[in-house]
Structures are given as C-alpha cells and as structure tokens.
Structure 1
Amino acid sequence: MLEIKPILSALWRNKIAALLIALQLALTLAIVSNASVIISDRKEKTARPTGIAVEDIITVNFQPVSQNYDMQTAVAADLDLIRTIPGVVEATHSNHFPLSGSGSASAYYNQPSQETGGEVANYYQVGAEFIQAMGMKLIAGRNFDPSDIQVADLTENRESSVVIVTKQFAEKLFPEGDALGKYIYGDRSSHPIEIIGIVERNLGGWVNWSKAGNAVFFPEMLIAEGNLFMRYLVRTEPGQRDSVFNQLEEKLSQRDPHRVIEMDTIENFLHKSYSRDNTMIKVLSVVIGLLTFIIALGIVGLTTFWINQRRKQIGVRRALGATRAAIGRYFLLENGMIASAGIALGMAAAQIANRMMVESYGQPQLPLPTMLSCALILLIVSLTAALVPALRAANISPATATRNV
C-alpha cells in the first residue's frame, strides 16, 4: 500500500498518457461488450432448430414451355418418378420453399369473421407427404390423407377444411392450450378450418422475421392458369443428397423435356438466409480481436516508455534494497490502476451505448454478466501486457542504471 502514493504522483506527472490509455480501455470495453452481446445473439439465432431435415432436402422448381399444360397429371407423374430414385425418402409439392427468403403470410383468428386480434403465419399449400418430405415431427394429431388434398385454380374461391400448424403458432393463437381439434379462420372469414395436427417446429420462409416459426400447412395444390409453375421438395436418405441431386434433373428432363427446371438445396437456402448474420459474427469477432491487440500493444509501449524514463530511479531503488518482485509489482499496480479507471469508465459508456442501440436499432440488451466478463478479460489482458516490461524493469541492476545516468 505504501507504493500507491508514489504511483499516483508518477501518474499525475504523466497524466496525458495515462488518460489516453484509460480512455482507450473505456472505448474498447464499450465496443467489445456490445459486440459480444450482438455476436451471442446472432449465434443463438443461427443455431435455432429449423424443425426440418435441412441437409437432406432438394428443391425443384419448374415452369413448362407450353401454355396448355396438364399440371395435375405432370405433378403425379413427376412425384411417382422421383420416388423410384434410389436414396429418395419422400417427395411432395409445395407452393413455397421453407428457409428460402420468400413465401406468403396471412392473419388467422380463433373466432369467425374477425379483423383484429389474430396471429400472422407463413402459410403453405402442400401435398399429403409434406411432413415426411420435410422430416418434421408430428407431436399431436394426424397427418394429411390423400383425400384431404384440394386442387384449385386461382380464380376459384376454395378454402381447406383442415390444417396442420406449428406448435409455436398453436400456442400463440390458443394460449389456453389444447389447440388440436379447434378451428381457425381466415381474415374476415366464417369458414372453419380444423387443426388436425401440430408439428414441433418449422421456421417458415423468413428466418429474420419476428414471427419466424409461425407456420400453417394446407392440403392444397394451386394451379394458376397462364402462369404455370410448380415446386417440389425431395427428401433423401442421409448422405445421399448429392447422388440424388445428380440424377434428379436428368430424369425429370427425360420424362418431360418441354420445361425449365431449377434445382437447389434447403441447406443453401439456410446459408443464404443467415449470410448477413454470419458475416456480422465474423466482422465483430475480428473487431474484438483487433481492439484487444491494439490496447495490449499500447500498454506494452507505454509501460516500456515509462520504464526507460525511470531507469535511474529503478537502479536507485534496487541499490537501496528493493527486490525484483517489488519493482515488478510497482509497474503492475500502476498499470492496474490505469486499467481499473478505464474499465470503470468503459462500463458506464457500454451501458449508455447499449441503451441507445436498443432504442434505435432493436439490438439485445447488454447483460451485466457479459459486461463484467468483458471487463475482467480486458483487465487480465492489460496486466498481461504490462507483465513483460515489468519483468524487464525488475531485471535492471543498480550498476547498469548508474552507468546509464
């Protein structure tokens, strides 16, 4: 404790340099702690279960050249053909692809003819095999039967009588529970649609949507006259996706060459959907690393500079009996005091910056444990950075210091 007074005196004489290091530490802590919470939030987001067999699903999108095209017959023939390919588990049609960044959404209600108080969900018009083709888990109720499927044109005003929904959507629309067997209604519609099944989860088409996970599935095939197109989802056995992918386009083209076929995978859709989040994680991780390195470099430089300025003083102290441990402890304590002041200032700055980010950009709040962890890490980095110069100072001999005067 007797060293604190001379340390404060020395810091006052070099107050500008000490202040700059403290401010640099404060700014680093404010940035690092907020960047850390953003990284944690993005990692948690990208690690969410999708509810489907992402790595095993192939998507097929085709549009026929002919205007007079029997879509219903073509779909039946295509799906029968696809199921004969070795490695295929199941195939189905769908109006949209999950995780693709595109889709359709609508509001649904638990009472007829409502306009407010409902829940918005991503909706799909699918075949009876959709759940198996997606690898989703049915946790309540039953799957679709082929007899549930309705084939309709855009000009027809048909509504399904049954629907399968995600657990998340069911819990939001029926917070009291037991949604199975209850009815949902479209916007201002009095037509009841019975919930016959509930699946564990499906993020739907938009992973960045605030209501991602709200999804409903109707047993329908929509045929739009004059704008013909169809989409298939093909699930393969684990490890067989690429093999099936190579055969699929060729076999579909051979069966009907008069159409344009595009193929992709759900895994690619997922990577594209999360590309911004993954980029942000990488950029912020690099920023954290660079800032930590820069602050460590600054502390090493400043401590080395001060030691070179005080070689005579160190030599005198060593001649008067100061141990190497005492010399090293002096500089570590000096650096610790600067770091502590900067970190205290940085914690306040971090909270202020986080509050602004929460209010302006909807970023997650900065938890106290995260901020304290970042503060502790920076303190350890600061002391570690000062350790090497401090050890060099401890090794200065009285004779060397005297000759350098």
Structure 2
Amino acid sequence: MIRHLFTLIWNRKRSNLLLIVEIVLSFFVLFVVSSLLVYNVYNYRQPMGFDYQNVWEINLNPGADTTAYNQKLQLTMQRLKATKGVIGVTKTSSNTPFSFSTMNGAYSYKGKQMPYNDNFDADDDFRDVMKLKVVEGRWFDHRDAASTRTPIVINTALKNAAFPNEKAVGQIFTDEKGEKEWQVVGVIAGYRAASDFTEDAPLSFRRRALDYDMTKKASSYELPVLLLRVQPGSGAMLEKQLIKEISNVTKGWSVTVNSLEQNRVAKLKFVLTPLIVLGLVCGFLILNVALGLFGVLWYNINQRKAEIGLRRALGATGAGIGGQFLGEMLVVTTLGVVLGLGLAMQFPLLGVFGVASGVYLQAMLLATLIIFALTAICAWQPSRIAAGIQPAVSLREE
C-alpha cells in the first residue's frame, strides 16, 4: 500500500512538489513560533526566586538638594521601619523587579571572562524584605563593613558558569585589568527580576552602604530606591502615612509609590504584546496554508474523477478511496516534515537563539504534531467527497 502511494505521488510529482515546499515553509514558521512559545512557557513555570506580593517600591528624588543626603536617607528609613504596617525596608538600585532598568557587566576569574550578568545593589536587609533563598554561604551583614574587597552574592546560574566543580564562597572575581576585586560571600537559588518570562540568567548582588557621596552622582541610577514589605491588605491609608513620614524628613524631595504587583502587571502587558502579535501573524499564516491545502486537494479530486470512477467500477470501496487520498496527503506531509526537521536541527547545533536543546526538541515535536493535524483536517473533507463519487457520475463527466 505504501509503495503504491509513493508511486501515485511520484506520478504527480510536479503538483506534489509545490505541496511539499508549502509544508516545509509552514513547518519552519511553526517551529520558530513553537520555540518561542516553549521557551516562554518553561520560564513562566519556574520559581521567581523572591516574593513580590505585599512589597512596595518608593522612588525618591532629592533634585538639587544634596545637603545632609545620607543623614536624611537614614532617618527616612528609620521612620519607615517604625511605621505601623511596615515589616521591613531595604535600599536598592533602580533595576528593581519588573522595572525597565538594567545594569550588567562581566567579571573575570583566573584571567577568564565570565558570562555577562545583571548587577544589583543591595543592603543587609534586602534578603529579608524580598525573601530570597540562600543556598550557600550567607547574605550581607555587618562583617562585610570592614572587608577590603567588595562583597557580592551570586545566583546558582553564575556559580555553575564560574565554579562548576568548586564552592563559590570565598572565590574572588576581578575586573578585566585585575584592578578591582569582588569576593563571593553567598549564593542564592535564583532571582528572575525582569519579568515572568525571563530565564534564570547569571546575576550578582553587590553590597552597597548608605555612605556614598551623593554630590558626586553621575547618573539617575544613583537616585535612592526603597523597597518596603508591608502587612497584607495595606492600602491607601498606609501609603498616605508613608509619604507624610518621608516628607517630614526630606522637606521637598519628590516621592512616588508603586507596588511590585502593579509593576508586574505593567511589565506583563509590555512583554506579552509582541508575543500576541506574533501569535496572530502565525495563526493567519496557518489559516492561509490550510486554505491552500484544502483548495489543492479539492482541485486534485476534480481532476482525478475518472481515476476514482474506474477504481469504484473495479470494486474499490468508498472508504478505500478516501483512505487513499488521506494516505497520499500524509505521505506528502511526512516528506515535507522530514525536510523541515533537517532545517530545524541546525538551530540547536548552531545555538541560534542560545536556549537549551530541549526547547528546540519540544518545539520540533509540537510543530510536527500541528502540521500533521492540519493536513489531516484539510484532507478529511476532500477525501470524503472522493469516497462518495459514483462510477456513473465520473464516467458521464468524462
């Protein structure tokens, strides 16, 4: 039977070649979209590494006021910690969770450059406020104040890249020239701060005290950003009280308050918009492919009515005729998918998107299933029409 199907396909090789090309292109588009889909779904299902619920972000802008900056900031944090409804307060850099701000760089270890990683500034209270999980070593504390090297905490992704077979605690990173040094004091499980769809990429936290000179700030990222963990259910009343406490100390600094949950929703809208547009474009392409396949099959049936009538006259059943057309389409689809898989295999081999090979394999499987389901659906109705053709009808038309 299969040999017979290949013979029929070869006899109509010109029209079938066009079908195969169309299937290959459709498979390739589906593979690319499926890769992005699998990659984002996989990341979405991973733990964030921190608890963003009931955490508020306070952005302070002193403007031109640099008088007693550190004293005002320290007093502000003390007042906030003493406010009823506030569980913890920490100072960090502007690249807070779900923000549109990033800082990155690369360390060197024993003369070898490490992967680029996101950098975050944090104080000793950051872990408790964000509920980070330390898996090796410790978080920053008062012991780091006298350190001759800048203490840092890294995540497991950076540890695995830099020290795959060693303990990370105590290891020393340098800059490219070997002039600056950072010492690892701890390792956290993860911290996917950019969005729900961000992978667990290498990152590091640098301990930053409150005693740097604000008058020498070089850019806006030096502006103070505070993260507050508040009691569940806190709302406008607490926000009003916090702004009042800050205003009483800073006298003229501008203050904005947002919850990380609000920031997360805003970031999700930003990230999902291009994905939705891509999905709609892909759906439109699939619809056009389906209509094209349906039209080609319909045309083939009309062109082969004499053949169908002759087979029916020789005793072929309607189910057999329908199965033949469906089988031909599935064989053509298989040829197209095999060629498409040959192209898709280049992605993991060349590391095109820089994602794990498992993502590509799942995308190939998903694209294959969709293509076969699509062609089977498109071939089903024309096959039923072919199965219902009677010998007398086809001979009369001939």
The normalised TM-score by structure 2 is: 0.77
SS of equivalent residue, structure 1 residue 396: coil
1:4 aligned residue = 4
1:55 aligned residue = 53
1:138 aligned residue = 134
Moved more, 26-35 or 228-237: 228-237
1:339-362 CA-partner distances (Å, limit 9, x unpaired):
23322333334345x379745x65
Moved more, 328-337 or 243-252: 243-252
2:382 aligned residue = 389
Deviation at 1:325, TM superposition (A): 0.9
SS of equivalent residue, structure 1 residue 29: helix
2:292 aligned partner, one-letter code: G
Deviation at 1:208, TM superposition (A): 10
Distance change (3 Å), C-alpha of 1:21 and 1:168: closer
Distance change (3 Å), C-alpha of 1:178 and 1:21: closer
Deviation at 1:226, TM superposition (A): 5.9
Distance change (3 Å), C-alpha of 1:170 and 1:64: same
2:15 aligned partner, one-letter code: A
Maintained 8 Å contact 2:152/2:186: yes
1:15-41 CA-partner distances (Å, limit 9, x unpaired):
443222221011111222233223322
SS of equivalent residue, structure 1 residue 54: coil
1:40 aligned residue = 38
Provide the C-alpha distance between the structure 2 equivalents of 1:355 and 1:11, rounded to a whole number of angstroms. 33
| Percent of residue pairs bearing the same amino acid type | 22
Deviation at 1:261, TM superposition (A): 1.8
Provide the C-alpha distance between the structure 1 equivalents of 2:348 and 2:161, rounded to a whole number of angstroms. 29
2:288 aligned partner, one-letter code: I
Maintained 8 Å contact 1:336/1:382: yes
Say yes or no: does 1:262 pair with 2:260. Answer: no
Moved more, 95-104 or 141-150: 141-150
Deviation at 1:92, TM superposition (A): 1.4
Distance change (3 Å), C-alpha of 1:281 and 1:2: closer
Maintained 8 Å contact 2:156/2:190: yes
Structure 1 vs Structure 2 CA RMSD: 4.2
Out of 66, 73, 85, which is 1:75 matched to?
73
SS of equivalent residue, structure 1 residue 53: coil
Out of 329, 338, 341, which is 1:335 matched to?
329
SS of equivalent residue, structure 2 residue 389: coil
Maintained 8 Å contact 2:321/2:386: yes
Deviation at 1:363, TM superposition (A): 6.5
Out of 200, 203, 206, which is 2:189 matched to?
200
Deviation at 1:209, TM superposition (A): 10
Distance change (3 Å), C-alpha of 1:295 and 1:307: same
Distance change (3 Å), C-alpha of 1:349 and 1:184: closer
1:198-231 CA-partner distances (Å, limit 9, x unpaired):
4333346799999943213315113312658322
1:225 aligned partner, one-letter code: T
Deviation at 1:86, TM superposition (A): 5.0
Moved more, 184-193 or 229-238: 184-193
**Mapping for residues 153-192 of structure 1, pairs under 5 Å:** 162-170=151-159, 172-180=161-169, 182=170, 184=172, 186-187=174-175
1:345 aligned residue = 339
**Mapping for residues 199-278 of structure 1, pairs under 5 Å:** 199-203=188-192, 212-221=201-210, 222-225=212-215, 227=217, 229-238=223-232, 240=234, 244-245=238-239, 248-249=242-243, 251-253=245-247, 256-267=250-261, 278=272
Maintained 8 Å contact 1:160/1:219: no
Distance change (3 Å), C-alpha of 1:20 and 1:256: same
Distance change (3 Å), C-alpha of 1:31 and 1:54: same
1:254-292 CA-partner distances (Å, limit 9, x unpaired):
554511123344456556767776445434433443333
Say yes or no: does 1:102 pair with 2:101. Answer: yes
Distance change (3 Å), C-alpha of 1:36 and 1:68: closer
Maintained 8 Å contact 1:43/1:281: no
Structure 2 residue runs without a partner (length 5+) = none
Out of 89, 92, 113, which is 1:91 matched to?
89
Provide the C-alpha distance between the structure 1 equivalents of 2:158 and 2:2, rounded to a whole number of angstroms. 66
Out of 124, 130, 133, which is 1:128 matched to?
124
Provide the C-alpha distance between the structure 2 equivalents of 1:92 and 1:393, rounded to a whole number of angstroms. 73
Out of 309, 319, 322, which is 2:316 matched to?
322
Provide the C-alpha distance between the structure 2 equivalents of 1:81 and 1:51, rounded to a whole number of angstroms. 29
1:323-379 CA-partner distances (Å, limit 9, x unpaired):
211221121122223223322333334345x379745x6566574564355234312
Structure 1 residue runs without a partner (length 5+) = 151-157
The normalised TM-score by structure 1 is: 0.76
1:311-331 CA-partner distances (Å, limit 9, x unpaired):
454344434432211221121
